[in-house]
Amino acid sequence: MTTLRVRDENEYEDLLAEWSDLESGLGMILGNPESVQQFAHRVLQYDRWMQGLLQRDPDVGLYLLFQLAGNSPVGYSASHALVCAVLCHLIASELLLPPRERDSLVRAALTMNIAMTRVQDELATQVEKPSPPQHEVIRTHPVKGAMMLGTLGVQDENWLDVVSRHHDDSEPGVDLRAMSAGRRLTHILHVVDRYAAMISPRVSRAGRSATDSARTILSNRTDPVGQALVRSVGLCPPGTYVRLDNDELGVVLRRSSKANQPYVAIVGTASGEVFAAPRLHGTAQGYPRIKAALSTTAVREPLNHYVILRLNAHPAQG
């Protein structure tokens, strides 16, 4: 296992602030795209910013991203876009997509809901079912989004095509290599969009556990995108909560070579009492193993994420 690349609490706070700033900056341009000069270039800059943060430490990046996405529905649209973009970036690498296809896919993920940013944020914080006007926005936002992006200067045809069709019925099990680039990228984003929506909380419901979401996505085992998603982030990605065989609570820290056996910080008792000093455990090394993933609502006491992440700086223990 590689060591943590956050050397001290200041560096941790800086990294957390960068992910938060990236998310809030993305929210600003998605919420007010007409007021953004050189919109397409700004999206490219956010994409590069995201890649830079992931390169520093992919597992810490995923941990912070899933903690940001899983703990509050506020600003849901930007949070969801960023989660989808990160997952698409990782899947593109796993599937060995050409760089141009990777760029189109990730930038489509960042902007796919541009025509319903405000409504998407409203839906995340309302208990009631969508109203008829909201339903109409949901129905029309893919095509309207692509039209908006074209007006804003986006000239990448694959980017526009994927945004316009990202809610079309997907085609699991089809050979990705036999698809056109547009259909291939649309299918990838469709799968990622569904997965990210499942794990994200709303006021009207808690987010589903990551494992439940992954199993739903993997219900068709012939779909290479779902398989690539699990290979990329694991059944329980860093930053997600789990219950172990001994009923203790844990939070996943770092992926391992086995998708279902990550490194975990054991943070609490079976009854939910949080330990003063969490301990590191490599589930690939033996008991206890992960019994179930948990939604974020299952852990009610606040955790010191810096202390938890620092466990990664030490050798794994059984």
150 and 36 together in one domain: yes
Domain boundary (233, 264, 291) is at 233
Q: Confirm whether 1 is domain-assigned.
A: no
242 and 122 together in one domain: no
What is the pTM assigned to this prediction? 0.89
Domain boundary (233, 265, 282) is at 233
Distance CA 48, CA 105 (A): 14
Q: Which residues of 244-282 are buried (b: 16+ CB within 10 A; e: fewer)?
A: beeebbbbbbbbbeebebbbbbbbbeeeeeeeeebebbb
286 and 309 together in one domain: yes
152 and 171 together in one domain: yes
Rama region for 288: left / alpha / beta (φ>0; ψ in -120 to 50; rest) = beta
Domain boundary (233, 249, 272) is at 233
41 and 74 together in one domain: yes
Domain limits for position 14: 9-233
| Residue 180 CB coordination number (10 Å) | 10
pLDDT one digit per residue (tens) for the chain, 318 residues: 444 566 788 888 998 899 999 999 999 999 999 999 999 999 999 999 999 999 988 999 999 988 877 665 558 889 899 999 999 999 999 999 999 999 999 999 999 999 999 988 888 878 888 899 998 999 999 999 999 999 999 999 999 999 999 988 766 667 888 899 999 999 999 999 988 877 665 544 455 565 666 676 666 667 889 889 888 888 788 988 888 999 999 999 998 888 778 999 999 988 878 898 999 999 988 899 988 877 776 677 888 899 999 886 544 444
| Residue 231 CB coordination number (10 Å) | 15
Cα distances (Å, whole numbers) of residue 301 to 211, 244, 272: 22, 18, 8
**Reading across the β-sheet that carries 263-268, which strands appear in turn?**
274-282, 263-268, 249-254, 241-244, 290-294
For the chain, the domain total comes to: 2
209 and 241 together in one domain: no
112 and 213 together in one domain: yes
Strand-pair partners of 280: 265
201 and 247 together in one domain: no
187 and 313 together in one domain: no
262 and 183 together in one domain: no
Q: Confirm whether 20 is domain-assigned.
A: yes
Distance CA 172, CA 188 (A): 10
121 and 265 together in one domain: no
